[in-house]
Amino acid sequence: SYELTQPPSVSVSPGQTASITCSGDKLGDKYAFWYQRKAGQSPVLVIYQDTKRPSGIPERFSGSNSGNTATLTISGTQAMDEADYYCQAWDSGTAYVFGTGTKVTVL
């Protein structure tokens, strides 16, 4: 079955850049999606089709996807960005797959 691996945690200082990786076999050949889940809230789509931001998502969120790794970058991280982040892709053998999740802490 297809798997997506993320680092369990990422720490960042306010105003700095946070990068969250998502690794999977030939992930670059698929579309990657990213979801933010704040404590006690439902997930929110922050990046779709590798690089696109839904309406209402701040420009500081950006994405890339190449080779075996997709990356979510948060530039100028704010305290409100503290959350769990999940990548997701679709695989023909496994269907919809979520990454293991990364907890972003803004110190």
Partner 1 sequence: QVQLVESGGGVVQPGRSLRLSCATSGFTFSTYTMHWVRQAPGKGLEWVAVISSDGSRKYYADSVRGRFTVSRDNSRDTLYLQMNSLRPEDTALYYCAKAGGGGVAADPFDYWGQGTLVTVSS
Judge contact between 73 and 87, C-beta under 8 A: no
Considering only 33, 70, 77, 81, the residue that binds partner 1 (CB under 8 A) is 33
Considering only 45, 57, 68, 75, the residue that binds partner 1 (CB under 8 A) is 45
Considering only 10, 63, 88, 104, the residue that binds partner 1 (CB under 8 A) is 88
Dig out the tokens for 72 from the structure: 């979510």
Dig out the tokens for 58 from the structure: 């701040």
Cβ 14 to partner 1 shortest distance, Å: 26
**Which of 15/40 has CB closer to partner 1?**
40
Considering only 10, 20, 30, 83, the residue that binds partner 1 (CB under 8 A) is 30
Should residue 51 be labelled a site residue for partner 1 when binding is judged by CB under 8 A? Answer: no
Query: Three-state SS string across 29-95, please?
Result: HCCCEEEEECCCCCCEEEEECCCECCCCCCCCEEEEEECCEEEEEECCCCHHHCEEEEEEEEECCCE
* Binding-site ranges for partner 1 (CB under 8 A): 1, 30-31, 33, 35, 37, 42-45, 48-49, 54, 86, 88, 90, 95-101
